[in-house]
Amino acid sequence: MIRQVQVLPLMAILAVGCVAAEPKSAPEEIEIVDRDEAADSVSRRLELRGVIDHGQALDASFSQRGYAGWLFTAAGGARIVLDASGHDGLDTVLYVYGPQRNQTWSRMRAIAVNDDARGTLDSHVELRAPADGTYLVVVREYFDRAGSFTLSLGCTGSECRPVCRLGECPSGSACEQRFCIRAPCPSFCAPIDPTVACETDVDCVAVPTTCCSCAWGGHERAVNASYADAFAPVCDPDVREPCRAVYLCGAEQPACVASRCEMVAATPGSECPVEQCGPPSRAPIIMCEDGSIGGNTGRCLRDEAGVCAWEMRECPSTDPTGRSCGGFRLEGPRECPEGFYCAYEPDDICGRADAPGTCQRRPDACAEIDQPVCGCDGRTHGNACEAASAGISVDHEGECAQPCGGIAGLGCGDAQFCDYAIEASCGAADQMGTCRDVPSACTREYVPVCGCDGRTYSNRCTANAAGVSVASTGACR
């Protein structure tokens, strides 16, 4: 009985050995297709995992929906060495494609294939890159079993990557700029990682890096939306993760920066995933007087502190005080409601240059203070309060200047004269002047001017005291 028990395991071992020694056929010639193209019975879908650098070794799992692939660049003539080693007795197969000629890898034929190397189940490929370009390495399991493997990329030579020439690189790669103090300082072409490539912010999404959420010590990374499922962690609901009750993600959101998806500081008011706001708020919805929605808007937004929360919006105030008015608008200037007037700042010159004002309430009563101001209606008011009570903004302090001259030949009051600007040429061509009081006294300084009556006066004041405007500086000729 003891011998029989000992022999049975030996027979089993021999049987297993026979299976392992069974010859395999050469690895099948495969075609791959990109994610946007349907696979068929001959081709298998390419699942790009990212890029692999020269001298790098990475651990990965076999794809269950296609073939896992990585990108790398190589200079023409560089000696490339690739190794794939399956874990737990898995049988790896290596395929190398390239250089890339267009935007897709679909239907390309492999330039190198290897299954078993050096009498093992591992794969090994050595080749010289036929030209500068972007290359693809694909790893599969011979029997399409699930599991993991290690992939490494090596290279011999002074430099294995293609050099940027005038900022140009082969298809599928981009120039990785270097800045050095001393020359020479070449820049090299690096593969464009499709997992983070983007054109706009819409192309980018945030995926957790672990099975712990942000609220429980987890982190997020930004990837292209097409690869969100591939990078999402596989979490077993029956296994309790060692998470911590601390928020670590920070106020960040995915964005497209220099054609790469990155996590950037989130702007207040930006949309958040609803799960980050927790259970929906039970606060009621309010219909505001202006027709907008207040209270619980049902939107998950980021606040000023960068925290995601359900938006609680206050209804806008119905008090028009401070509301913009006047100014230039295609639909016409905005008016203030009854009981209000449009007030302008002193530098806004009553909105004559299309500057807007603000709605202010008209005073019900004013003190009897004699501080005359000139209103924007061109009339003099007793003080600023009286002008506001009449619904008029103040143009300037002091009384309004009365126009004179012009085509109507407007005159001035007693003890006043019509003062013309020098460029008005004493009212020629019906130009207007301004009524001013005749000076009652003048200094004796001698700064001759020529009056509009053709006479020379010792200074401007003496001309005005004679009721004459100045035509030009200096004596009359």
* 244-256 per-position pLDDT tens digit: 766 666 667 788 8
Indicate the length of the chain as a whole number: 477
> Is residue 114 scored above 50 in pLDDT?
yes
- Cβ neighbours, 10 Å, residue 449: 24
**CA-closest candidate to residue 412, choices 397, 425, 402:** 402
> Is residue 53 scored above 50 in pLDDT?
yes
Q: What is the pTM of this model?
A: 0.48
pLDDT in tens, 152-179: 999 887 678 898 887 788 888 888 766 6
Mean residue pLDDT across the chain? 82
- Rama region for 37: left / alpha / beta (φ>0; ψ in -120 to 50; rest): beta
Average pLDDT over residues 402-409: 87
Spatial distance between the Cα atoms of 365 and 389, rounded to a whole number of angstroms:
7
Spatial distance between the Cα atoms of 426 and 418, rounded to a whole number of angstroms:
9
Tokens of 116: 């078993």
Peptide bond into 184 cis (omega under 30): yes
pLDDT band at 99 (very low <50, low <70, confident <90, very high): very high
Burial status of residue 53 (CB atoms within 10 A of its CB: 0-12, 13-18, 19 or more): middle
pLDDT in tens, 450-463: 999 999 999 999 99
Average pLDDT over residues 208-212: 84
Average pLDDT over residues 370-391: 89
Of 339 and 318, the structure prediction assigns the larger pLDDT to: 339
Of 334 and 135, the structure prediction assigns the larger pLDDT to: 135
13-17, 129-133, 268-272: range with lowest mean pLDDT: 13-17
The pLDDT value recorded for residue 17 is: 34
Q: Is the dihedral of CA 326, 330, 332, 336 positive or negative?
A: negative
The pLDDT value recorded for residue 16 is: 32
Spatial distance between the Cα atoms of 431 and 423, rounded to a whole number of angstroms:
10
> Is residue 107 scored above 80 in pLDDT?
no
> Is residue 8 scored above 50 in pLDDT?
no
pLDDT band at 210 (very low <50, low <70, confident <90, very high): confident
> Is residue 27 scored above 80 in pLDDT?
no
